[in-house]
Structure 1
């Protein structure tokens, strides 16, 4: 069973999540090093947080979300000794994460388009990372799914989003806040090189 509420999904098992969602977390595994500390931004129902913790030799994965309902689901179906869930609106404050120090890897999938101040948010992600730490971030591709003419909505606009990004816009946003872009990918289901599919997917580094 996988329940869908708005843009959130509530599976009981990882393999019930949508294929494109699962593939982002499969992809993330290659960037997880032994004993690394990982932050999963907007973890939702927790399937990705749990997956990364169980399928890597990390020390811990912290899943953060502002939805109490989603985190209750995560704690019911996707809790283990290597993951922890925190209720926190990270767009407004990261105080809830100070006790954990800096992170080796931050995953931020399909989140930034939901936030009012994207520049401020990216700077927070930068500050949460260790020097040399990695950010994996994805967002809808404006050149494929235009924000004002979204083919998946009757009125042409996704009510949950504030914007979509072109390749250049997302590149500029990340680089202007200090990130070095290591590699750019694109995604429909599989994550491949390029920038011509519905989702942009960047691998970034804090120099």
Structure 2
């Protein structure tokens, strides 16, 4: 059995009103209108998101690939969140061979992942190379002091500034930036401080 560490979300071990759990689930609800075809959930964790996507978008989705770096997590996801359209794979988001191994996708989901990787540009290259033309990328990340700067979160390499976050998506043809506040998503409002950015990008 996996343990909830404060970073890896295990819904079955958490109270339903846990704020972090609600935030994570809300991202999948937010993304559902954009999800179709062959779907990649990179750093899928326990697998609840892949399972939700496969069920909620059963008419629009024909395959979901969930990738996580941790073998025990992949085994847990395969067992606890099995679905006929979902395959869980152990893999490293920074593996330069990942596009060759996994192929191309119509939709890529990347929630709260980029702050964990040392080379966010290589990570973005991998995602871009795996996305089909006109495919959608939905990516979220917490904001912080910036690339290369220390963070108070023990599992985060760094946390990008809002400007650095937006610069990640310059090569995409269309980009919409939203901000997450608890389980809600909105365009920026004056006087409101936001801690998490969410980008919806079209290749």
TM-score when normalising by structure 1 = 0.83
Alignment length, in residue pairs? Answer: 190
Distance 2:13 2:34 in 1: 23
Unmatched runs of 5 consecutive residues or more in structure 2: none
Instruction: Name stretches of at least 5 consecutive residues in structure 1 with no aligned partner.
Output: 151-156
Moved more, 11-20 or 163-172: 11-20
Superposition misfits of 4+ residues, deviation over 3 angstroms: 12-17, 97-100
* Segment of structure 1 superposing worse, 120-129 or 159-168: 159-168
Q: TM-score, normalised by structure 2?
A: 0.85
Match of 1:185 in 2: 178
* Closer, same or farther: CA 71–15 of 1 in aligned 2, 3 Å: farther
RMSD over aligned CA atoms reads 2.3
Give the drift of 1:102: 1.2
Q: What is aligned with 2:201?
A: 204
Give the CA deviation at 1:120: 1.0
- Measured in 2, the distance between the counterparts of 1:131 and 1:106 equals 12
Preserved CA contact (<8 Å) 2:138 2:200: yes
Q: Which residue of 1 aligns with 2:56?
A: 55
Task: State the distance in 1 between where 2:11 and 2:195 align.
Answer: 23
CA distance in 1, matches of 2:39, 2:12: 22
Q: Within 5 Å, give how 1:48-197 maps onto structure 2.
A: 48-56=49-57, 57=59, 58-95=61-98, 98=100, 100-142=102-144, 148=150, 157-175=152-170, 178-189=171-182, 190-194=184-188, 196-197=193-194
SS in structure 2 at match of 1:204: strand
Distance change >3 Å, CA 100–CA 113, structure 1 → 2: closer
CA-CA distance at 1:194 after TM superposition = 2.0
Residues 15 and 85 of structure 1: CA distance in aligned 2, closer, same or farther (over 3 Å): farther
Q: Any idea what the Cα deviations from partners look like across 1:25-45, whole Å, max 9, x if unmatched?
A: 011110023xx0000010000
